[in-house]
Amino acid sequence: MRPARFDTHAPSRPQSPRSGSFLCSPDLSSSRWQSLRFHIRDQVQSFSAAGPSDDPLALSILEALPPPTDKVTAYGSPRHRPGFSHSTPAGWPSPLLTEPGLSSTALPVLSPHASESSKRLTLRRTKRSRFLSSRTLKSQAFWLTLYFAFNLGLTLYNKLVLVQFPFPYTLTALHALCGTLGGLILRRRGAYVPAQLSARSAAALVAFSVLYAVNIAVSNVSLQMVTIPFHQVVRAATPIFATALSVLLFGTQFTRLKILSLIPVMAGVALATYGDYYFTFFGLLLTLLGTFLAALKTVYTNVLQSSPSAQRTHRPLLALPAPPRLALHPLDLLTRTSPLACALCLFYAFASGELGHARASLAPTTLAGAARLLVILGNGMIAFGLNVVSLSANKRVGALNMTVAANVKQALTILCAVGIFHLTITPANALGIVVTIAGGAWYAWVEYVGHA
């Protein structure tokens, strides 16, 4: 006996040239779409009335279709029709796919019907990309690389600028002015939020601003009383001053190997800058004072940017007044300290008589003056970038590491000057460059082992 056959006939199914599905055909008008939808519902319900169905495709179609209505409404797009409501599943189960609801590669978000494994995979990839970017920004190597790049670039740029614009006080005042304006502009754009300081914290910040300005003044005055090679040799001892200040003020402990690794760095700078050593007794005192102030400023900068939770448990050797830990943003610290430095440098420029000559040199009435003004403005922008990078690097690597990096930078500057300006150096200078770079590498290895 042959099984009974239904007399129902499937409607004509126009095929879409792209997908081959009658649901995606552009030939379906709104009324015909509604009639086909009702016909599908009737067919599925007739199959359901005949007996329980185990076909998941039929059950999915039945659940996806909205309740019947007599009203036929025209819609401009199939996605606006009731058949495409938010309750429509992302995909029908298939025996070939064990996990339905895979994420779409064309959408930036996961489908709400995606499987748990797909959601976990996407979340893991997102966290990994964010972790890599945040880890790069917190990396000491990243900030030290930026510090070397900006510092070397600005040093060589200053060398070119001072040849045509021999006014160091005015140029330093311009750098401080760019730091002030750049910090204020970034604050208005929401790059950082200025800290709310107490009276004691504000007084400490004013003291740091004075230290920042006096350090520039003492360094410039001492350069007029000693030769540049002697000045660089004395300044190479900055790591010793920074180590002593850290131990005396905060009780910081350093390993013997780290202290020994400072010796080749300082000795290498002395050899690299070996030359005509001439100095007066007062010039020697000012150079030593400038070196001490530079180390104190470096330590002070690191403390002001560190959080109170970073306070060390070791007792300092001397009960000296130490700066508070304010957890300041680098841009906030730069914006607060640059105005006083700018005012002091302008005062020195006015007292020395160079301010009037600088104003005449920068007169935009001539083409050469306008071009020189643009070059100096570019120099000020690079100086602003160096200040931001230097403060950020100091916050992450520490005061002693910054003084070592400054010594290595001196050797790299001489090496770059040899290639760019065809500078002639002696074998002792070349040996000093090699010793400094090797000492810096040794110190970096000791620091890495200490952290590991």
- Report d(CA 368, CA 362) in Å as an integer: 9
Q: Which two tokens stand for residue 131?
A: 């972790």
Q: Is the pLDDT of residue 364 over 90?
A: no
3-state secondary structure of 107: coil
Question: Around Cβ 151, how many Cβ atoms within 10 Å?
Answer: 20
Average pLDDT over residues 39-61: 54
Looking from the CA of 140 toward its CB, the CA atoms found within 13 Å total: 13
User: How many whole angstroms separate alpha carbon 444 and alpha carbon 424?
Assistant: 29
Distance, CA of 149 to CA of 373 (rounded, Å): 24
Sequence length of the chain is: 452
Segment 107-132 shows an average pLDDT of: 59
Higher pLDDT, 154 or 25: 154
Q: How confident is the model at residue 311 (pLDDT cuts 50, 70, 90)?
A: low
The Cβ of residue 310 has, within 10 Å, a number of other Cβ atoms equal to: 11
Query: Residue 43 — very low, low, confident or very high, per pLDDT cuts 50/70/90?
Result: low
Contact criterion met (CB below 8 Å) for 330 and 195 = no
pLDDT (mean) for 366-388: 87
pLDDT score of 82 more than 80: no
Q: Which helix (H) or strand (E) holds 378?
A: helix 367-397
What CA–CA distance (Å, rounded) separates 206 from 287? 24
Given a contact cutoff of 8 angstroms between Cβ atoms, the answer to whether 234 and 287 are in contact is: yes
Instruction: Say what the pLDDT of residue 100 is.
Output: 40
What is the average pLDDT across 198-217?
86
pLDDT of res. 310: 58
Task: Indicate the pTM of the whole model.
Answer: 0.65
